[in-house]
Every structure is written in C-alpha cells, then in structure tokens.
C-alpha cells in the first residue's frame, strides 16, 4: 500500500517505519526541516531502542521516504495517518490545533479520494471535526478513521509490531477493510482488530491511559500508608498482584508518572467531563501523582533538614522512564527544581537524556559523564529512573565517592537490609528505612 504519515515524532516515526518494514511504501512528512534532514540521512533525532536500525534498513530498501513536502506525500498515498502532537491546551483540554491544521492542509492538496487516519490522541468528536474541516475544503471523498496508538516509549517498535489490539473507529467499510489488511501482518498471533464507532475508539485511548495512571497512583498511595504503619509495599504488591482480578503489572511504587502522555491525557479526560461529569477519581489520581513527585525531596529534607544550602546531591536518572530520552513532565524535573530552590547543588547522570536535560536546566546543574562521576563529593545519591545499569552498581565505589553514605531510592532498586549491612542510610518508597 502507499501510505503517508504526517508528523515524525515518537508515534509517527515508529508507525511509518514499521509499516515500511512490513512492505508498504511510506512517505513521512514533518514541518521540522532539521528533523527531516537528519532522518533522510538515517539519523533518528531521539532515543528509541531498535528504531534507527529499522529506519536505515527501510531507507536503503527504498520503502521509506522523508520529506517536508505534504503535497507530494498526499498525491502519492491512498491512506494518510495524522500523528502530530496534541499538547495540553487551556483548562487541561487537549489542543487539537495541529491535527485540524494538518487535516485542512491535506484537503487543500488532495487530487482524489483519501482515507485519513488519526493516530494522535484526540478528544471524542475530533474525527467528526476532521471530516467537517476537510469536506468544506475539498470536493473529493474523505473517509476518517480513528486509530489510537497504544505503544510505549522505550518499547515502541516491539509494541507497534505486536500490538495487544488494534482499534479502528469509523463507519466507512471500504476504509476499514483496507486498514484491516494493512494491520494484518501485525496481528498474526491472533490479537484482535477491534472495529467500533469513532467516539468509542477515541475514548478507549483516554480510558486506557486513565486506568494505567490510576494503577500507579493507587500503589503510590498504598506505599505512603505502608510507610506510616510499618508495612513493606513490596510484600503487599506481591500479594495483591497474585489476585487474578488485579494482576501483577503496573503496580510498582515510585516517584510518580510523567512523560508526554499520562499527565496530559488524564487532564484532557477530566476536561472532557466539563462541569457535568466532574471525574473525582481522575482528579485524585492527578493529585496523588503531584504529591508523589515531591516524595524524594521530602525524604531529603527529613534527613538533612529544610535548609539545603551548601548541600550537593547526585541524581541518577533523568528521563521519565528507562529506555527513552524523553523528559516531558519527568519527575526528575520537579525533584531537581525543588532541590535548587532549597539552595542545593545537583550533579546529574542519565544514560540517554543528558542532551534533553541540558535544554531544561542549562548551566544550573552539573552533568556527569558516568554514573559514579555524579557521586563525587555529594551528600547523598537520589535515584529517580530505574535504568538497568543502576540495578547492580558497585556499592563500595558509591560509598567511596559520596561524602556521606546516604541513598534515597525512588524506585526501590535495592534490598533495605543489605544496604544497612553495607553501612548505608537507605530510604526507599513504602518500606522501612534502612
């Protein structure tokens, strides 16, 4: 099939590349010239495991093309995916300006019937708005299908290649059949393609992210209670996770959720309810999360006192989760800003997100080239992101480099008893202090 994907960010680039990998001819379009000129040379402008190799392979095979020329892409494609951003707008609502602008630009250059597929996460009703905007501009037939994307950054290629399910919302049977055919190679193991109306498809993405965020805030709230009453959230988590109605996934306590999706999608879901459906549960999910992002600094102040002037803290992990360099709404930003306000100095290390961190903090913090380098002369180590390389460090070296052996772990990576035995003062989430 001949496809175009508009927007070559995390979602558009992964989708376009994976569609090319299954044999389609794909033209990826972006307005960002720097991004496109890097991609033309096979360079992916962000970190996503396995993606760059796949982009290069499909560029070489001449199935994948990058351009800023929307008209060319529209003329050469029958199916056009919209994967541009839907950032948080006023009152928490999702801002669909980029999506509608893209739809209008497509309709201006259309020279025949096209199927438009929304991959961006959009509020219920957006498919209808796209159709209205486009039919007002072009005489050619337009089918609009909602196809929300569920991939996770850090495992995006695998998620796209083997989705748990594919959701198609729309009532144009010809377009639905074409998309089913397109997705067929990705669901060979029997995972379903679910066809529904556009409102349910659009809603399902918000409901999915809302449930995942709820699980995180739930276990974080439980971890606070565990600390207060002297229970161990690790044990509690295992018990509840073995209940098949609950399941073991996504109930790890930590420093709160971040990233480009959960925070904005939860706010957008709340905003969709307007004044009629006030969404008390999701408001609480957000409130718990806002508090959780401050938990590490509360522990820092509990240990060192409220005045942090002259103190230096090492931070391991800056991206909002491992295997990505994405720092949008990352808990690390809240933690570091709070430490800086308190008068402390910060020395940070992340395996992939250093360039992103420099854009946010500039010269307000120090950047280490290696994880141990960040520890030199620091009063304590704070662990914010659970990158694999932080799981089994050389504790002797940590002790040698730190001014005092204090570790404040936001991801419960280590055993409290073992840490105590090695001479550390160890704080973690929802467990007794070491």
Ligand X SMILES: NC(=O)c1ccc[n+]([C@@H]2O[C@H](COP(=O)([O-])OP(=O)(O)OC[C@H]3O[C@@H](n4cnc5c(N)ncnc54)[C@H](O)[C@@H]3O)[C@@H](O)[C@H]2O)c1
Catalytic positions are 261
d(CA 53, CA 300): 42
Determine which residue in the list 83, 336, 357, 419 makes contact with ligand X, applying CB under 6 A: 83
Q: Which residue of the chain is nearest ligand X when measured via CB?
A: 9
User: Is residue 313 within a helix (H) or strand (E), and if so which, with residue range?
Assistant: strand 312-316
CB 421 within 8 A of CB 404: no
- The helix/strand/coil state of 83 is coil
Contact call for residue 165 and ligand X (CB under 6 A): no
Q: Which range in 80-88, 160-168, 191-199, 212-220 contacts ligand X by CB under 6 A?
A: 80-88
Site string for ligand X, 233-272 (x = CB under 6 A): ---------------------------xx-----------
Contact call for residue 322 and ligand X (CB under 6 A): no
Determine which residue in the list 28, 144, 151, 216 makes contact with ligand X, applying CB under 6 A: 151
d(CA 212, CA 199): 20
Question: What's the CA angle centered on 361, arms 360 and 362, to 5 degrees?
Answer: 105
CB 394 within 8 A of CB 422: no
Determine which residue in the list 3, 4, 5, 7 makes contact with ligand X, applying CB under 6 A: 7
Determine which residue in the list 1, 25, 32, 303 makes contact with ligand X, applying CB under 6 A: 32
Look at the block and give the residue holding tokens 């560029």.
59
Smallest distance from ligand X to CB 171, Å: 23
| Helical H segments across 89-164, by residue range | 97-109, 126-135, 156-161
Residues in the chain, total? 434
Contacts with ligand X: how many residues (CB under 6 A)? 26
Site string for ligand X, 87-126 (x = CB under 6 A): -----------x--xx-----------------xx-----
Contact call for residue 153 and ligand X (CB under 6 A): yes
Smallest distance from ligand X to CB 101, Å: 5
- Tell me the two tokens of residue 297: 């600094």
Determine which residue in the list 48, 74, 85, 282 makes contact with ligand X, applying CB under 6 A: 85
Contact call for residue 397 and ligand X (CB under 6 A): no
- The helix/strand/coil state of 19 is helix
296 exposed, middle or buried (CB, 10 Å; 0-12, 13-18, 19+)? buried
Determine which residue in the list 3, 4, 5, 8 makes contact with ligand X, applying CB under 6 A: 8
Q: Which range in 29-37, 242-250, 293-301, 347-355 contacts ligand X by CB under 6 A?
A: 29-37
d(CA 40, CA 37): 5
d(CA 132, CA 259): 32
d(CA 148, CA 214): 20
β 79-82/2-6 pair status: parallel
Determine which residue in the list 86, 204, 220, 347 makes contact with ligand X, applying CB under 6 A: 86
d(CA 338, CA 12): 34
Q: Which range in 1-9, 220-228, 340-348, 390-398 contacts ligand X by CB under 6 A?
A: 1-9
CB-nearer residue toward ligand X: 120 or 138: 120
Smallest distance from ligand X to CB 59, Å: 18
For binding to ligand X (CB under 6 A), which residues are involved?
6-12, 29-32, 35, 83-86, 98, 101-102, 120-121, 149, 151, 153, 260-261
């Amino acid at each position: 099939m001949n496809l175009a994907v508009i927007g070559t960010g995390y979602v558009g680039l992964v989708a376009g590349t994976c569609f090319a990998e299954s044999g389609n001819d794909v033209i990826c379009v972006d307005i960002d010239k720097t991004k496109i000129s890097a991609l033309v040379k096979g360079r992916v402008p962000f970190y996503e495991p396995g993606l760059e190799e796949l982009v290069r392979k499909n560029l070489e095979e001449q199935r994948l093309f990058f351009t800023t020329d929307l008209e060319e892409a529209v003329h050469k494609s029958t199916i056009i995916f919209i994967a541009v951003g839907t950032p948080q707008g006023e009152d928490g609502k999702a801002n669909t300006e980029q999506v509608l602008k893209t739809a209008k630009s497509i309709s201006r250059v259309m020279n025949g019937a096209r199927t438009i597929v929304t991959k961006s996460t959009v509020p219920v009703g957006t498919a209808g708005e796209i159709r209205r905007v486009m039919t007002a501009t072009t005489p050619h037939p337009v089918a609009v299908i909602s196809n929300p994307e569920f991939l996770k950054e850090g495992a995006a290629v695998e998620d796209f290649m083997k989705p748990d399910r594919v959701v198609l919302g729309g009532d144009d049977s010809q377009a639905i059949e074409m998309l089913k055919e397109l997705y067929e190679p990705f669901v060979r193991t029997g995972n379903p393609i679910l066809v529904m109306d556009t409102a349910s498809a659009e809603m399902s993405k918000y409901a999915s992210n809302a449930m995942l965020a709820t699980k995180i805030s739930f276990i974080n709230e439980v971890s606070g209670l565990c600390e207060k009453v002297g229970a161990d959230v690790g044990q509690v988590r295992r018990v509840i996770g073995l209940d098949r109605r609950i399941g073991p996934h996504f109930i790890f306590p930590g420093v709160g959720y971040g990233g480009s999706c959960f925070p904005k999608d939860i706010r957008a879901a709340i905003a969709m309810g307007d004044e009629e459906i006030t969404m008390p549960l999701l408001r609480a999910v957000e409130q718990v999360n806002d508090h959780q992002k401050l938990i590490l600094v509360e522990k820092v102040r509990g240990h060192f006192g409220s005045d942090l002037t002259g103190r230096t803290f090492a931070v391991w992990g800056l991206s909002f989760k491992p295997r990505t360099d994405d720092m949008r709404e990352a808990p690390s930003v809240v933690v570091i800003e709070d430490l800086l306000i308190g008068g402390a100095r910060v020395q940070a290390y992340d395996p992939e997100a250093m360039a992103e961190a420099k854009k946010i903090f500039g010269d307000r913090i120090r950047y280490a080239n290696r994880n141990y380098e960040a520890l030199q002369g620091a009063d304590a180590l704070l662990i914010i992101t659970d990158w694999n390389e932080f799981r089994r460090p050389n504790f002797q070296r940590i002790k040698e480099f730190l001014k005092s052996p204090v570790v404040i772990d936001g991801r419960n990576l280590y055993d409290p008893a073992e840490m105590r035995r090695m001479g550390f003062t160890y704080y973690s989430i929802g467990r007794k202090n070491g």
